[in-house]
Amino acid sequence: MPLSLRVIVDALGGRLLGNADLLIRSLAPLQTAAPDQISFLSHARYQSQLAQSAAGCVIVHPAFETQVLSREAAIITDDPYLYFARLTQLWKRHHADSRGPRIHPSAVVDPQAVVADDAQIGPQCVVERGAVIGAGTVLKSRVTVGENCSLGARCIVHAGVVIGADGFGFAPHQGQWVKIEQLGAVRIGDDVEIGANTCIDRGALEDTVIENGVKLDNLIQIGHNVHVGAHTAMAGCVGVAGSARIGAHCTVGGGAVVLGHLTLADHVHISAASVVTRSILQPGQYTGMFPLDSNANWEKNAASLKQLSRLRERIKALETEIQNNKEI
């Protein structure tokens, strides 16, 4: 069902230029959009695509207003990317399929679990004893919420997520491993989204905590007793080891690893594929990776790195010798 630009602007705001009655049938990227589609320009580097785009309407910043005056329609807004995000939400609401059963017949929900009246439990989900599912929260298919774990309101949990599996805790004894029972749970706040096949382990004694507004991508591992601050986002394949504390409004790039028992301050941003080996107590962007190279060069550089400590001592000795010679 198409939406007119009038309906879109009435719902989301922005300043409309051109034909308010233009019917939009879908959303599309600039380079492929057709005359009955809407797109957006969020960065100046893509303005060449704007000139070539056939989109019926383009969402742009006021700085690009003169470049869209000849178009059939445009929407002017201070943050086109944010506007586009809200447009996707509006579009989904208008085009959503009719809701099925609140709890799918194939789901298993323990009688002692608490599920809000408007929460949705998808096919083959398991909600164990004492678990709490908050208002408006949606569990997609095959989600497991372990015993005594809780999710707040308006969370979205994608297929295959496991919340509350045992943390990785074992004590060594005479060459074998003795299991440490994981007696904590997982507490997840409001407005959290968790990507497919992500695992969040329960705490050993205290709970693993995911605060409000956190966004986790697919295939992320959150170890036991981890604490993730509000509105932090992590991309796919991130691994956070046990008892790490990550602040609010942080970002962790895809494939990065945070070692256990470390602390990341608020507003810390970790580049993709980095390995965080020490606590970071000041906000900022941090990167820790070895540059990609041919294997032969990498082996030579790795061999050189092993000598850095010895070279440092030699340089210190030389500096001392030079200084002593100056004083003679």
Q: How many CB atoms lie within 10 A of CB 3?
A: 19
Nearest to 231 by CA among 269, 201, 191: 191
Burial class (CB in 10 A: 0-12, 13-18, 19+), 195: buried
For the record, the structure tokens of 180 come out as: 């440490």
Residues in the chain, total: 328
- Can you read off the two tokens belonging to residue 181? 């029972």
Is 227 an active-site residue? no
CB 110 within 8 A of CB 131: yes
The CA-based diameter of the chain, rounded to the nearest angstrom, is 90
Q: How far apart are CA 279 and CA 277, in angstroms?
A: 7
Mention every residue, 6+ apart, whose C-beta is less than 8 A from residue 305.
none
Helix and strand counts by DSSP (H, E) for the chain: 5, 35
SS3 92: helix
Which residue is catalytic, options 95, 224, 231, 267? Answer: 224
Side-chain-side CA neighbours of 11 within 13 Å: the count stands at: 16
Tokens of 177: 């491993």
DSSP string, 98-167: PP--SB-TT-EE-TT-EE-TT-EE-TT-EE-TT-EE-TT-EE-TT-EE-TT-EE-TT-EE-TT-EEEEPP
The two tokens of residue 136 are: 């408006």
Task: Give the span between the Cα atoms of 288 and 298, in whole angstroms.
Answer: 16
The residues annotated with a catalytic role in the active site are 224
